[in-house]
């Protein structure tokens, strides 16, 4: 299949997949005809029928993964096949289930294949780096949810580390090949935040009385984190415009403890599944905030808040050029 033929087929299928007047059954008929035409109807059925049949297709999946190596330039049949899968993903129940599968789930192989496709179709190094960092962020959330579950923790730890290594490699290419310094700067900040969050989780795991196998995995990951941090440097600086100039004295980001009403810079990360504020190496539980913080995880912000112990009540914050909240008079 030529590149032009592939693009025409992809556009046609996207149009069909998005048409509201096509019922689920009609989309299924189209899908079956496409997969049958390329001799892969068995894989399509496995995606619909679930995990039991999917297990028997391990060899096919391995072949598919090889076809999706980023440096491959030709449009192979397996790539076409996965494009069909993505087009109809919204109408395939098991496909949606695979998207939500975690490292300990049987359908996780399908999720990883879809992730490889998403990376392969990213148009430039910055886009590829963003996708890999998104994947690493999701793996970290799985890790947070697995703390205390000894049977699955080692596997989830390894998957999280693999995702971080992939993100680092993609970020390095983005740094080398792009002049979009603001875009790279944002990705560098996100990746650095991921590394810090991973360290926090590793500490929580060690303090939680993990078994020998998990402890060995943690030691190996700590060494890998040191290596992952080396190329993550930014030669650019960015500034954030703030609507109102803070009146309180600014506290250095490395300050180990904060108390009272203060204005400082910090970063939103996660700990035990909750959004927290990192100031230097210390994090604070957030009691209240003027906006939803999940969208700001990984962002460096300037904020004014009332600090007490290991908690903070955020009164006003500035992120990405937007100011949230008003300071009380």
Contact assessment for residue 314 and residue 277, using Cβ atoms and an 8 Å cutoff: yes
* pLDDT of res. 157: 82
- Tens digit of pLDDT for each residue in 223-280? 767 766 665 555 443 333 333 333 333 333 344 578 888 888 888 887 777 888 888 7
pTM, whole model, 2 decimals?
0.47
Average pLDDT along the chain: 67
* pLDDT of res. 286: 94
Last residue in a domain, options 229, 258, 274: 229
128 domain residue, yes or no: yes
**60-74, 85-99, 150-164: range with highest mean pLDDT:** 150-164
CATH classification of the domain holding 286? 2.40.50
Do 277 and 132 share a domain, yes or no?
Answer: no
173 domain residue, yes or no: yes
Q: How confident is the model at residue 20 (pLDDT cuts 50, 70, 90)?
A: low
Do 208 and 303 share a domain, yes or no?
Answer: no
Last residue in a domain, options 229, 262, 289: 229
Do 169 and 306 share a domain, yes or no?
Answer: no
241 domain residue, yes or no: no
Q: How confident is the model at residue 312 (pLDDT cuts 50, 70, 90)?
A: very high
* pLDDT of res. 26: 63
Number of domains in the chain: 2
Do 97 and 185 share a domain, yes or no?
Answer: yes
Nearest alpha carbon to residue 286 among 318, 309, 263, 262 = 309
Do 173 and 305 share a domain, yes or no?
Answer: no
pLDDT above 70 (res 15): no
Do 30 and 115 share a domain, yes or no?
Answer: yes
% pLDDT > 70, the chain: 51
- Tens digit of pLDDT for each residue in 301-310? 888 889 998 8
d(CA 91, CA 95): 8
238 domain residue, yes or no: no
234 domain residue, yes or no: no
> Domain range for residue 259?
250-324
Do 308 and 177 share a domain, yes or no?
Answer: no
Do 159 and 262 share a domain, yes or no?
Answer: no
Do 72 and 178 share a domain, yes or no?
Answer: yes
Nearest alpha carbon to residue 15 among 1, 36, 30, 25 = 30
245 domain residue, yes or no: no
Do 215 and 262 share a domain, yes or no?
Answer: no
* pLDDT of res. 320: 73
296 domain residue, yes or no: yes
158 domain residue, yes or no: yes
Do 179 and 91 share a domain, yes or no?
Answer: yes
């Amino acid at each position: 299949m030529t590149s032009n033929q592939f693009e025409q087929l992809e556009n046609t299928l996207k149009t069909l997949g998005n048409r509201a007047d096509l019922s689920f059954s009609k989309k299924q008929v189209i899908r079956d005809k496409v997969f049958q035409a390329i001799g892969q109807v068995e894989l399509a059925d496995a995606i619909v029928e679930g995990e039991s049949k999917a297990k028997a297709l391990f060899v096919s999946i391995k072949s598919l993964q090889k076809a999706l190596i980023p440096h491959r330039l030709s449009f192979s049949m397996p790539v076409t096949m996965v494009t069909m899968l993505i087009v109809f993903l919204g109408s395939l129940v098991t496909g949606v289930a695979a998207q939500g599968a975690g490292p300990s789930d049987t359908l996780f192989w399908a999720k990883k294949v879809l992730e490889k496709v998403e990376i392969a179709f990213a148009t430039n190094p910055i886009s590829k780096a963003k996708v890999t960092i998104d994947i690493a962020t999701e793996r970290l959330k799985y890790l947070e949810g697995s703390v205390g579950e000894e049977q699955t923790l080692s596997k989830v730890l390894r998957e999280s580390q693999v995702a971080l290594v992939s993100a680092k490699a993609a970020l390095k290419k983005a740094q080398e090949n792009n002049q979009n310094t603001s875009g790279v700067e944002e990705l560098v900040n996100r990746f650095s935040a991921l590394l810090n969050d991973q360290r926090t989780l590793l500490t929580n795991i060690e303090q939680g009385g993990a078994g020998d196998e998990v402890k060995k995995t943690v030691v190996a990951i700590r060494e890998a984190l040191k290596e992952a941090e080396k190329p993550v440097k930014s030669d650019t600086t960015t500034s954030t415009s703030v609507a109102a100039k803070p009146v309180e004295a600014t506290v250095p980001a490395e300050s180990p403890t904060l108390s009272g009403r203060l204005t400082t810079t910090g970063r939103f990360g996660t700990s035990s599944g909750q959004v927290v504020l990192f100031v230097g190496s210390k994090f604070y539980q957030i009691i209240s905030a003027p906006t939803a913080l999940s969208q700001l995880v990984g962002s460096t912000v300037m904020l004014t808040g009332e600090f007490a112990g290991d908690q903070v009540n955020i009164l006003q914050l500035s992120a990405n050029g937007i100011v949230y909240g008003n300071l009380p008079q």
